[in-house]
Amino acid sequence: MSQSRDASKTPCGALKTTREKDHGACDRAWLDLAIKTANAAPEKGGSPHPRVKVGAILVDAKGKEIARAVNRFATGVDRRRPERYENNARSLWINCAEQMALAQALRHKADVKGAKMYVTLEPCAVCAGLLVESGIREVVVPLSSRRSYAKLKAKWKKSIEIGTSKLTEAGVKITAVDMDDTRG
Ligand SMILES: [Zn+2]
């Protein structure tokens, strides 16, 4: 996965007009990239999860990309074994996108303090704790991720509920972006 060091080449920097560069438009552009990243074929870096494909992008305070990841098996762990996709095994074999993004930042020795995490599904309880502890300042999710919340399994619902409480209590801002808003 290539890392962009030049802010003008980011999805936000590519926006032409000042009107387009309003906050919401930048957030939508990053989330859009996160969605596309998650939905790519697994052999092209997309998520191998059969149903829940999650993308996460870490952006520093200056608007530069620090890390981009999807929910997937850790590097070197065999994703071709069918039993690893079975109901009770899947969530243990496949790591969350947020964890993978944080691990990538760690590998590149990037400073994530004050960074923004764009993620296509609201963080689970484990990820929320890690995001808080890493010093992430804001989590941005698509509004549609909240709309689909009602359909999630009870286990995940509870996990996201706790995750949201952790983020809120620790002062991490949560922003839900309407991806259909084209005013920008
Ligand atoms: Zn998670």
In the reported structure, the alpha carbon of residue 8 is separated from the centroid of ligand 1 by a whole-number distance in angstroms of 30
3 state SS of 126: helix
Q: What is the pLDDT confidence band of residue 26, given thresholds at 50, 70 and 90?
A: very high
Cα 132 to Cα 113: distance, rounded to the nearest angstrom: 10
In the reported structure, the alpha carbon of residue 149 is separated from the centroid of ligand 1 by a whole-number distance in angstroms of 15
In the reported structure, the alpha carbon of residue 156 is separated from the centroid of ligand 1 by a whole-number distance in angstroms of 10
CB 172, CB 138: distance < 8 Å? yes
Q: What is the pLDDT confidence band of residue 154, given thresholds at 50, 70 and 90?
A: confident
In the reported structure, the alpha carbon of residue 125 is separated from the centroid of ligand 1 by a whole-number distance in angstroms of 7
What distances in angstroms separate CA 12 from CA 9, 31, 79, 114, 184, one per listed residue?
8, 10, 33, 18, 12
Q: 34-72 pLDDT, tens per residue?
A: 999 999 999 999 999 998 999 999 999 899 999 999 999
In the reported structure, the alpha carbon of residue 43 is separated from the centroid of ligand 1 by a whole-number distance in angstroms of 22
In the reported structure, the alpha carbon of residue 98 is separated from the centroid of ligand 1 by a whole-number distance in angstroms of 6
3 state SS of 175: strand
